[in-house]
Structure 1
Amino acid sequence: MLNFRMIEYGSCEYHEMVQLRDIVLRKPLGLTFTTEYLQKEINDLLIGCFETDGTQTILRGCCILTPLDETTVQLRQMAVSPVLQGKGIGRDIIAFAEQQAITNGFNRLVMHARKEATGFYQKLGYEIYGQEFMEVGIAHYEMKKLLTATS
């Protein structure tokens, strides 16, 4: 059974989150996290998707919401465990993240989406704006969505 909840910065769950993001997002690109990079996440909204398997709870997916201003939040570091990709967990994480954004007073969500993920986000109502750009050595697009209580 999957459940979604906020993760406290610096907690054991946070360290699991960093490890999952490292495996899914960083290592394939030959990148690592720096202490300075991770310290910037202290005021972000950290979201985890957990699966309870008997007595064990395992982090299966995550994302970060970084406030940009009073109305806009940026989705970052979206990651789903490789063994569960394509099973709808990413969609569910986005839905939970959107609700958390609304609950925290934001009405616009933006992101830098990897080019190969833009179709996934478009199905969820996100629009590409601007030109393709390079980030961490791969093609990205800026995407956005206006959030409503029914998002």
Structure 2
Amino acid sequence: MTKKSLGFWLIAAVVLILDRITKELAPGLPADGFTLIPGVIGLRYAENTGIAFSLLSGLPRLTGVLGLAIVIGGFVWLRNKEFVALPLTGLALMAGGATGNMLDRLIRGFVPDMIETLFVNFPVFNVADSCLTVGCVLVMISLLCRPQDWAKL
């Protein structure tokens, strides 16, 4: 195992652990939630049986199996690739987040969400969703700013 692949697995594992901890604590939130930073962010428990923005709601097992296929496919594709730090970090964040949400869909039949934006009307989300988003942004930045890093893939 190379130093880079160890970093990938460490980031993905930390994301998964943080996601699991927050999702275990989320059901204990007050029913109407509470404010962390007034006008900015709060915590409120919600259950999402779909994927992003509640698409495919009511089909958690299907979305879980699709998520499992994507996670496995991604790991198979990535296992022999060499990446520089930025895309590697982005892919690790995405792997940890996708694994966390996929496990919830398969085990619970829904994904617990708990982070609520108060400054804009936006769906409640979780740590895994945040890591997926940040990971995608990092990968996009690396694709736009350093396409030569992806040319050999």
Measured against the shorter chain, the TM-score band is under 0.3
Q: TM-score, normalized by length of structure 2? A: 0.26
Look at both structures and tell me which one has the larger radius of gyration over its CA atoms: 2
TM-score scaled by structure 1?
A: 0.26
Q: Which has the higher helix share?
A: 2
